[in-house]
Amino acid sequence: MNKQETLAAMEKAKTSHEAQMAKIETLLDGLEVNQPTPIAKIDCSFGKWLYGEENHLEDLLGVQFYTKLDKQHEEWHSQYIKIYNIFFKDKKSGFFAGLLGKNKVDDLLIDKAKMYFTELQPISAELVQTMDASHRRITAMSDAKFH
30 in a structural domain: yes
pLDDT at 104 over 80: no
23 in a structural domain: yes
Q: Could you tell me which residues come within 8 angstroms of residue 38 by beta carbon, excluding any fewer than 6 positions away?
A: 44, 47
Query: pTM (2 decimals)?
Result: 0.85
Q: Could you tell me which residues come within 8 angstroms of residue 147 by beta carbon, excluding any fewer than 6 positions away?
A: 1, 2, 56
21 in a structural domain: yes
Residue type at position 87: F
Structural contact between residues 54 and 6, judged by C-beta atoms closer than 8 angstroms: no
| Confidence band, pLDDT 50/70/90 cuts, at residue 1 | confident
pLDDT at 19 over 70: yes
pLDDT at 91 over 80: no
Q: Could you tell me which residues come within 8 angstroms of residue 124 by beta carbon, excluding any fewer than 6 positions away?
A: 17, 21, 76
How confident is the model over 85-99, as a mean pLDDT? 63
How confident is the model over 72-93, as a mean pLDDT? 88
147 in a structural domain: no
pLDDT at 98 over 50: no
pLDDT of residue 96: 43
Number of domains the chain contains: 1
39 in a structural domain: yes
47 in a structural domain: yes
Range of the domain at 18: 3-142
